[in-house]
């Protein structure tokens, strides 16, 4: 068996659930946040440091590792586990997001996606079968099917066409797997059209995939539209398999996703923000910019309630100095802090679920959160279960 999911406890007032995912590289407690290691590295950090933060699983990227250093090199170096020194689970994106993000460098056909490398212009012919071959070479424990992700502004007919192609590609990916120990997840598309999401669930979930992901969110739609789509989609997904929300998002989005039944999350936000001085504080409920002049002589840690090694050993003023001096250490220390905030939030969520108090935790966390975009959930009764 490639993967086993066990739901241990459910929140009676929401769709949140506590569970475990077993892969060839160990057990993952869910809900879980997965740090992104696009180039076979969580930027600026060693595998030992990422493990120390409490991370249980990380991501790699099919497109980027195929372009550089190339799948032959990845295989020769023993795969991503050996390259990075990571002995826990790895999930790999299929390259489907690059269909959107590198739209000027690709051409889509029924066979797959032809990319011109953003590095040297060389051709990468990424078919569903080759996407699986690359991911098996990377050594992924959870492989994502190649999908067609349309733009947020695409007309309904184009969204339907992309969704149907995603289904056909998913079946080709499933048939292309040669290693039964590696799981394959299908990706549910449909934009913000709720009926299309339901249709795609019905098309994909009748097949024997090891898990399912919600794709096509956090790509330009409004936060309320994202939540509406998620609260419609997640509860319809199979209850006996992991549910993964791709590429989302802020700490509040993780909490809202869990409440709607999501088990797995990833996002570049904590590390990308850290490298620019954007830090999450107050358990992820607020952001601060360490570049602000107000912190120049500040001897306090980033967050006095945080247990990360950065907050235990370094002051705001010193971290600001490192960032302005363009010292590599700044990227390392600030990334450690932000990732720990994300991982710790998931630890607190799991503990609340374990103790049967998730709804109270949700209410307490949200009571101290002010969304600068004024996009808080408008009516909790729309997504909570009836008592």
User: Which of 93, 147, 228, 253 is the catalytic position?
Assistant: 93
Distance CA 294, CA 292 (A): 5
How far is the CA of 312 from the CAs of 293, 300, 303, 315, 318, in angstroms? 22, 10, 9, 9, 13
CA angle 183, 64, 60 (to 5 degrees): 35
Q: Are 149 and 162 spatial neighbours (Cβ–Cβ below 8 Å)?
A: yes
User: Which of 228, 253, 266, 303 is the catalytic position?
Assistant: 266
Assess whether 147 carries a catalytic annotation: no
Q: What is the DSSP string of 115-148?
A: EEPTTT--EEEE-HHHHHHHHHHHT-SEEEPP--
Assess whether 93 carries a catalytic annotation: yes
Q: Are 118 and 105 spatial neighbours (Cβ–Cβ below 8 Å)?
A: yes
* Residue 372 per-residue DSSP state: T
> What residues does 110 pair with on adjacent strands?
none
Distance CA 183, CA 204 (A): 15
Distance CA 147, CA 162 (A): 8
Q: Residues with catalytic annotation?
A: 93, 266
């Amino acid at each position: 068996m490639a993967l086993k999911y066990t739901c241990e406890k459910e929140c009676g007032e929401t769709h949140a659930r506590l569970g475990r995912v077993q892969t060839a590289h160990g057990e993952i407690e869910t809900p879980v946040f997965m740090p992104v290691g696009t180039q076979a590295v969580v930027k600026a950090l060693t595998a030992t440091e990422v493990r120390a933060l409490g991370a249980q699983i990380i991501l790699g990227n099919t497109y980027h590792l195929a372009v550089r250093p190339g799948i032959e090199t990845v295989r020769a170096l023993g795969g991503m586990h050996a390259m990075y020194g990571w002995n826990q689970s790895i999930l790999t994106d299929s390259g489907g997001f690059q269909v959107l993000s590198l739209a000027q460098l690709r051409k889509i056909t029924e066979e797959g996606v032809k990319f011109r490398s953003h590095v040297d212009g060389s051709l990468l012919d990424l078919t569903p079968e080759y996407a699986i071959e690359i991911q098996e070479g990377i050594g992924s424990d959870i492989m994502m099917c190649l999908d067609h992700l349309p733009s947020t502004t695409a007309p309904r007919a184009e969204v339907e066409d992309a969704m149907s192609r995603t289904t056909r590609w998913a079946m080709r990916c499933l048939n292309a797997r040669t290693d039964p120990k590696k799981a394959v997840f299908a990706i549910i598309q449909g934009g913000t059209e709720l009926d299309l999401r339901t249709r795609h669930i019905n098309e994909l979930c009748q097949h024997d995939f090891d898990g399912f992901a919600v794709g096509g969110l956090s790509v330009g739609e409004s936060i309320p539209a994202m939540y509406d789509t998620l609260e419609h989609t997640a509860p319809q997904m199979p209850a006996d398999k992991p549910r993964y929300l791709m590429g989302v998002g802020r700490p509040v989005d993780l909490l809202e996703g869990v409440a709607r039944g999501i088990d797995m999350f990833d996002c570049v936000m904590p590390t990308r923000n850290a490298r620019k001085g954007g830090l999450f504080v107050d358990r992820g409920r607020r952001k601060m910019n360490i570049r602000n002049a107000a912190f120049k002589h500040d001897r306090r840690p980033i967050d006095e309630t945080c247990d990360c090694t950065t907050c235990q050993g370094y002051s705001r003023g010193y971290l600001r100095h490192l960032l302005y001096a363009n010292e590599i250490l700044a990227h390392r220390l600030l990334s450690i802090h932000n990732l720990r905030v994300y991982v710790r939030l998931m630890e607190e969520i799991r503990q609340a679920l374990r103790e049967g108090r998730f709804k109270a935790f949700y209410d307490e966390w949200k009571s101290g959160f002010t969304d600068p975009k004024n996009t808080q959930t408008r009516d909790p009764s729309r997504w909570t279960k009836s008592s």
